[in-house]
């Protein structure tokens, strides 16, 4: 006599919920990514070398020919330039986020994370937090290089340690916001190579159609209008004011008259919008 039994159904693990659980899961994923980064030191090395090259290039090659207000003094351009270089550095981390997530997708790691009982957005949040930690290191090294080549906070306005730290805080918030754009790009392409290209190509018009490297008052009027309302420009202008390096009088556009508030609003809106889109894409992507 044989006994027939029904196969027990295989239940997929239920994703954990709650803010505390989501926070813990995100930290676990962030730790995993930081360990991985520490085992590939060339990632950090190349991430530092590129902005240092920009500092040297713009300071010593273009510095004597750039006009800031009515001045062509290279020292004035150094102080004007650094906020733009800092902002460019944190936003270019977007390409690394996109490529990293695309690589995890290609290797099937994201599918394995999805099968675990963890918060839905923890994989992406952990990745962006790890990228933010790497950006902090890069920004610290770049600030030291900037001081070596002659950048001086307080050269054209009041500043103090609190204002300088607030400026770096705005830079890191902008960088974190842009990594969510990178996360969405990484989830939307098929290969890490495509993610690298897609993560960086749109950054060139964003960073160069801004007040980062030139005085926007010297631009064609319609180009200056774009630059003045560019979220990137708002953070650059906010940092110049907090660093005490305003350089030139800003235009009458609201983001240029209220750059600190504009930078906060722009960055938070980008985080909310692109985190929502990235998590939704993560849930649907296989």
Give tens-digit pLDDT for 160-192: 889 999 999 999 999 999 999 999 999 898 888
Q: Return the domain boundaries, the chain.
A: 19-284
User: How far, in whole angstroms, is CA 53 from its chain's centroid?
Assistant: 19
What residue spans of the chain are helical by DSSP H? 19-38, 41-57, 74-91, 93-107, 109-114, 122-149, 161-188, 192-200, 203-208, 221-228, 231-243, 254-257, 259-284
Q: What percent of the chain stands above pLDDT 70?
A: 90
Q: For 13-50, how does the pLDDT look when each residue is reduced to its tens digit (9 = 90+)?
A: 444 456 777 888 888 888 888 888 778 777 777 778 88
SS3 call for 72? coil
Position 248 scores a pLDDT of 75
User: Which range among 40-44, 80-84, 266-270 has the greatest average pLDDT?
Assistant: 266-270
How many other C-beta atoms are found inside a 10 Å radius of the C-beta of residue 254?
Answer: 13
**pTM reported for the whole predicted model:** 0.86
Taking a C-beta distance cutoff of 8 angstroms, is the pair 74, 64 a contact? Answer: yes
- Residue 71 has phi, psi (to 5 degrees) of -115, 140
**Given a cut of 70, is residue 252 above it in pLDDT?**
yes
To the nearest whole percent, how much of the chain has pLDDT over 90?
Answer: 33
Hey, which residues does 68 pair with through a beta bridge?
71
| Per-residue model confidence (pLDDT) at position 45 | 79
C-alpha torsion 173→176→182→183, nearest 10: -140
109-139 pLDDT, tens per residue? 777 777 777 777 788 888 899 889 989 988 9
Task: Read off the pLDDT of residues 133-146 as tens digits, 9 standing for 90 and up.
Answer: 989 988 998 999 88
What is the chain's mean pLDDT, rounded?
84
């Amino acid at each position: 006599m044989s006994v027939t039994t029904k196969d027990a159904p295989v239940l997929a693990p239920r994703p954990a919920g709650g803010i505390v659980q989501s926070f813990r899961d995100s930290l676990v994923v962030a730790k995993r990514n930081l360990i991985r980064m520490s085992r590939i030191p060339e990632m950090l090395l190349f991430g530092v070398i590129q902005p240092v090259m920009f500092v040297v290039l713009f300071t010593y090659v273009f510095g004597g020919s750039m006009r800031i207000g009515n001045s062509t003094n290279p020292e004035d351009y150094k102080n004007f330039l650094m906020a733009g270089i800092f902002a460019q550095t944190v936003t270019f981390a977007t390409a690394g986020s996109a490529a990293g997530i695309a690589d995890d997708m290609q290797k099937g790691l994201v599918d394995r994370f999805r099968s675990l009982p963890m918060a839905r957005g923890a994989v992406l949040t952990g990745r962006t937090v790890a990228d933010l930690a790497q950006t902090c290191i890069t920004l610290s090294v770049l600030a030291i290089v900037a001081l070596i080549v002659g950048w001086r906070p307080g050269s054209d306005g009041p500043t103090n340690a609190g204002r300088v730290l607030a400026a770096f805080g705005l830079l890191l918030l902008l960088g974190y916001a842009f990594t969510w754009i990178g996360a969405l790009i990484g989830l939307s392409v098929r290969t890490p190579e495509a993610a690298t290209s897609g993560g960086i190509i749109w950054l060139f018009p964003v960073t160069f159609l801004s007040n980062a490297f030139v005085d926007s008052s010297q631009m064609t009027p319609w180009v200056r209008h774009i630059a003045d309302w560019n979220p990137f420009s708002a953070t650059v202008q906010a940092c110049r004011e907090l660093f005490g390096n305003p350089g030139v009088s800003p235009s009458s556009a609201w983001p240029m008259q209220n750059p600190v508030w504009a930078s906060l609003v722009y960055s938070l809106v980008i985080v909310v919008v692109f985190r929502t889109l990235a998590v939704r894409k993560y849930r649907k992507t296989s």
